[in-house]
Amino acid sequence: MLAGFLSRPASALSIPVPEHLTFELAWEGIYAGTSTLSISRDAGDGYKIVSTAASADYISVFYKVRDMIESVTRPDSFASMSYRVTSHEGKHVKDLGLLFAGNDGRKMTAFIDYMGGPDKREKDFKTPTGVMDPLSSFFFVRTLPLVVGKPVYVTIFDDEKVWNVEVQVLRKERVQTWAGTFNTILIRPVMKSSGIFRRNGDIYIWLTDDARRMPVMLESKVKIGSIKAILQKVSY
């Protein structure tokens, strides 16, 4: 089953490229910052996906958040070629780079470079051909047929491991956002890794119930309450 998913050509996707989405972040209903998610063509004719998050000025005074995740994928699929995480959350700073290289036609090698802080080091791992990173895997899920009650699966490399992540398809809902009202399909990744599909608390994602499968709202449980990302603006 997974082999069929991994071999599906990206040319079949209905995601408009380029696409740029802007979200308002809210903590327990209080404005907390902004987030963006975009996809464009990379110079190598693959896909470049970028996700950012920034805390509001009044929050940054005591807990500054400036995060950026960048993924570059193969031109024929969402298989990862490189993955970069630059994160500044409060006193925690993280700089991580991943490079996926071919090895004997059957395996891939993931070279991890922990570039920031006391954990600076390099490691490499054997990974399956066609493996995705946490960000590219989310876009891959958007291309799959989603049927309520039938989970889909994605194979990702994160936290120095290969994960087979189950994504549950829960129900259909009508959702109101700053960018309009949408008919959506609600998914819930069963968390294992700490990337976009975080294992620290439940995460729910509302995708438009059409060919685009555009994310319009996301809710993630945190230690105190929950964080919501609500679609504010769409541009192509």
Domain extent listing, the chain? 2-235
Strands 180-189, 161-177: pairing kind: antiparallel
* Rg, the chain, Cα only: 17
Q: Copy the structure tokens of residue 229.
A: 């990302």
Q: What is the pTM of this model?
A: 0.84
Tens of pLDDT, residue by residue, the chain (236 residues): 333 333 343 444 578 889 999 999 998 889 999 999 999 998 777 899 999 999 999 988 888 989 999 999 988 888 888 888 888 888 877 777 777 765 443 445 555 555 555 555 566 777 777 889 999 999 999 999 999 999 999 998 887 788 899 999 999 999 999 999 999 999 999 866 555 544 455 899 999 999 999 999 999 877 677 889 999 999 98
pLDDT at 197: 47
Instruction: Give the C-alpha separation, 188 to 233, whole Å.
Output: 23
Q: For position 63, what pLDDT does the model report?
A: 86
SS (H, E, C) the chain: CHHHHHCCCHHHCCCCCCEEEEEEEEECCEEEEEEEEEEEECCCCCEEEEEEEEECHHHHCCCCEEEEEEEEECCCCCCEEEEEEEEEECCEEEEEEEEEEEECCCEEEEEEEECCCCCCEEEEEEEECCCECHHHHHHHHHCCCCECCECEEEEEEECCEEEEEEEEEEEEEEEEECCEEEEEEEEEECCCECCCCECCCCEEEEEECCCCCCEEEEEEECCCCEEEEEEEEEEC
- Specify the pLDDT at position 92: 77
pLDDT at 98: 76
At residue 140, the pLDDT reads 93
Of 76, 19, 87, nearest in space to 44 by CA: 76
pLDDT of residue 35: 95
Q: Which residues pair with 226 in a beta bridge?
A: 221
**Can you read off the two tokens belonging to residue 65?**
């958040």
Q: Give residue 2's pLDDT.
A: 33
